[in-house]
A and B are shown apart, each in its own frame.
Chain A
Amino acid sequence: MTDSRLPTGVALITLILLAGVPLSLYYAGHIFWLDIFTRAVVLAIAAASLNLMLGFAGLASFGHAAYLGIGAYAVGVPAYYETYGGGGMIASYSGWWHLGLALGASALFAAVTGAISLRTRGIHFIMITMAFGQMLFYLLVSIDEYGADDGMTVDLTSQFSHVDLSDPVMLFGICYGSLLLLLLLQYRLKHSHFGRILAAIKQNENRTRALGVNTFYYKLTAYVLAGVICAYAGVLMANFSTFISPGMIEWTRSGELMFMVILGGTAWVFGPVVGAMIFVLLEYFLAGLTVYWHLPFGLLLILTVLLFRGGLGGMLQRIGATRGEGQS
């Protein structure tokens, strides 16, 4: 049950590289790499939030990108109204307002959709969460005022008194710090009273209920928590890309988040971070090679699922275990 040392070492090195590489490249004049890494960190937060459901409780939500969208539109819409008028009391550039809106709206959306979809299991759960995500997608596509399917630019980033999110280094620092905090939180959560109940639900929900646990509320809590954290990632995403569109919510995006989690390994708190980094780097290099980059990308996806059971985290765990046996 104890995490072996190898995955922990890999996690620490990855964290150092994740901050060191883009910052040193940035100050050496290669500004572009900071962008790539900021995106990777934001996606890592989103993927880690999905892992709260997928990895901790075994809930395969296929509509998780919806929360990225909720967070992003909670920045874009108030900023739009503040710039062009209208929107009543929603209009604002205030970062705290954007955050509050994102967290409140995502919690509400998660509570309602979760209460419905968590009554189903397995493939039905996957389908219904995907359906809720697509509902939000088509809703946003239909709103011409927000640019419909073209989306709209965010003219001014969320305003905080001491923090300037339009400064790329500052933004990266905020994203990176948020990721560290989230990882600590998830690590504690995984080993907490709550985390053990989720683990029990993941392994055998019926058995957990037969021990007197009302599993529904535990699953719903994980579901809402995951949604709220992902919406936070959405707020960061909107400030980073200064552009929002329904494309952020499409079910393929949810699939990508799921891919990151599975690639990194669901049993590993750090897995989604590795998954997100590999995803962003692969996407970058493959897209540079060919416009048909989705094809080799898909093949790689299939290969990882087939070859690395338990993702990269699972592989590291096995390597660490064999080495440990060899030494003793």
Chain B
Amino acid sequence: MLEVSALSKHYGGVKATDQVNLNVKAGECHAIIGPNGAGKTTLIGQLCGELLSDAGVIFFQGRNVTGLPMHRRVQLGLARSFQITSVFDDMTVLANVAVAVQANRGHSFRFWRPVSRNESINARALEVLRLVGMEVQHQQLAGALSHGERRQLEIAMALATEPQLLLLDEPMAGMGAEESNAMLAMLQALKGDITLLLVEHDMDVVFSLADTISVLVYGQVIETGSPAQIRNSATVREAYLGDAG
């Protein structure tokens, strides 16, 4: 599904990501963990096309997407959610998702008919909202939602682009226990249908969702394996403990 080799990004002398190799298989949930400053967010940025890489290549479904801009990658099925919630606050929940549906259906160079009455777009947006359990709130302004709901909407918007691979940048960030559980249940339901690449600090979430885990430390993948392998890996333990000490 996604093959990354020798991907690097430098900021001045600092290597945010350094020769990262990654192989995400279709259908799996692949988690990336690592201490703060390990380069996880940079890596997500490079994968989705927000950041241009200094070196290395990214193949998505057998296609070299290294030089493609973000919107092209999304059109190919590589979508992302943001660590810092990015929804359109002044729009309704439905309209937020509908923007993504519009983008997915091709161009929006239509200047006359009211888009809010495009039933085909609305129906699809509602369908996606139902998937994340938000259809009840569809008429609310996104800015009036709770933090947890905004995080859910964030995911719904990404889902509406009909991704093959979804990059989740800390979907649990800032959530309470109850909200986290709802999100976890939602991601569990998505798993299998969509390939997930998950960056997350909450180890409980990572170990209950992930099929494969890669550990990123100082911009490099030091280990990749099943949750059991990672849990018992001496290298990983050393890296984390070393970092904590």
Residues of B within 8 A of A189 (CB): 111-112
B16 is an interface residue with CB less than 8 A from chain A: no
CB closest chain-B residue, reference A267: B90
Q: Let me know if B74 and A199 touch, CB within 8 A.
A: no
Residue numbers in B under 8 Å from A204 (CB-CB)? 86-88
Q: SS class of chain A's interface: helix, strand, loop or mixed?
A: helix
Distance in angstroms between the alpha carbons of A203 and B108 in the assembled complex = 17
Q: Mark B114-158, 1 if CB is under 8 A from A, else 0.
A: 111010000000000000000000000100000000000000011
Let me know if A196 and B103 touch, CB within 8 A.
no
Bound CA span A197–B95, Å = 10
A interface residues, how many (CB within 8 angstroms): 26
Given A206-B86, A212-B100, check contact A197 B108 (CB 8 Å): yes
Complex contacts, B100 vs chain A, CB 8 Å: 211-212
Query: Are B75's CB and A212's CB within 8 A?
Result: yes
B217 at the interface (CB under 8 A from A): no
Measured CB to CB, the nearest residue on chain A to B99 is A200
Q: Chain A residues near B114 (CB, 8 Å)?
A: 188, 191-192
Q: Tell me the nearest residue of chain A to B48, going by C-beta.
A: A210
How far, in angstroms, from A207 to B80 measured CA to CA in the complex?
Answer: 10
> Which B residues contact A (CB, under 8 angstroms)?
48, 50, 69-72, 74-75, 79-80, 82, 86-92, 95, 98-100, 102-104, 108-116, 118, 141, 157-158, 160-161
How many Å lie between the Cα of A14 and that of B104 in the bound state? 41
Q: Is the CB of A210 within 8 A of B113?
A: no
Which B residues lie within 8 Å of A119 (CB)?
none
20 further A-B contacts with Cβ under 8 Å, apart from A199-B88, A210-B71, A212-B74, are A1-B91, A188-B113, A192-B110, A193-B113, A195-B115, A196-B99, A196-B108, A199-B91, A203-B88, A203-B89, A206-B86, A207-B157, A209-B74, A210-B50, A211-B71, A211-B161, A212-B104, A214-B71, A215-B71, A218-B108
Which residues of chain A from 170 to 198 have a CB within 8 Å of any chain B CB?
A: 188-189, 191-197
Contact between A211 and B99, CB atoms less than 8 A apart: yes
Instruction: Please judge, given known A-B contacts A196-B98, A197-B108, A221-B109, whether A191 and B82 are in contact too, CB under 8 Å.
Output: no
Are A211 and B74 in contact, with the CB atoms below 8 A? yes
Instruction: Tell whether, in the assembled complex, residue B115 and residue A192 are in contact, meaning their CB atoms are under 8 Å apart.
Output: yes
Within the complex, the shortest CB–CB distance from B217 to chain A, in Å, comes to 27
In the complex, whether A8 has a CB less than 8 A from a CB of chain B is: no
Question: Which of B92, B115, B141, B157 is A211 in contact with, Cβ under 8 Å?
Answer: B157
Q: Is the CB of B103 within 8 A of A213?
A: yes
Give A176 Cβ to nearest chain B Cβ, in Å.
Answer: 23
By a CB distance below 8 angstroms, the chain B residues around A221 are 109
Complex interface: chain B residues within 8 A of A196 (CB):
91, 95, 98-99, 102, 108, 115
Pull 8 A–B residue pairs with CB atoms less than 8 Å apart, ordered by A.
A199-B88, A200-B91, A203-B91, A204-B86, A211-B79, A211-B157, A212-B103, A213-B108
Task: Annotate A212-228 by CB proximity to B: 1 below 8 A, 0 otherwise.
Answer: 11110010010000000
Query: Which residues from chain B contact A210 at a C-beta distance below 8 Å?
Result: 48, 50, 70-71, 74, 79-80, 82, 86, 158
Contact with B along A1-35 (1 / 0, CB 8 A): 10000000000000000000000000000000000
A197 to B101 Cα, complex, angstroms: 11
Q: Is the CB of A304 closer than 8 A to any CB of chain B?
A: no
Contact B108 A188 (CB under 8 A): no
What separation, in Å, do the CA atoms of A222 and B80 have in the docked complex?
27
Judge whether A208 is part of the interface by a CB distance below 8 angstroms: yes
Residue of B71, B95, B109, B113 touching A209 (CB-CB under 8 A): B71
Q: Determine the chain B residues whose CB is within 8 A of the CB of A214 once the complex forms.
A: 69, 71-72
Q: How far is the CA of A312 from the CA of B5 in the complex (A)?
A: 56
Closest A-chain residue to B105, C-beta based?
A193
Task: Choose one: A194, A207, A209; the contact of B110 (CB below 8 Å).
Answer: A194
Give every chain B residue within 8 A of A199 (Cβ-Cβ).
88, 90-91
Q: Which residues of A contact B158 (CB under 8 A)?
A: 210-211
A295 to B2, CA, bound (A): 62
Residue contact A206 to B99, C-beta cutoff 8 Å: no
Contacts A192-B111, A214-B71 known; A208 to B116 CB distance under 8 Å? no
In angstroms, how far is the closest chain A Cβ from the Cβ of B104?
6
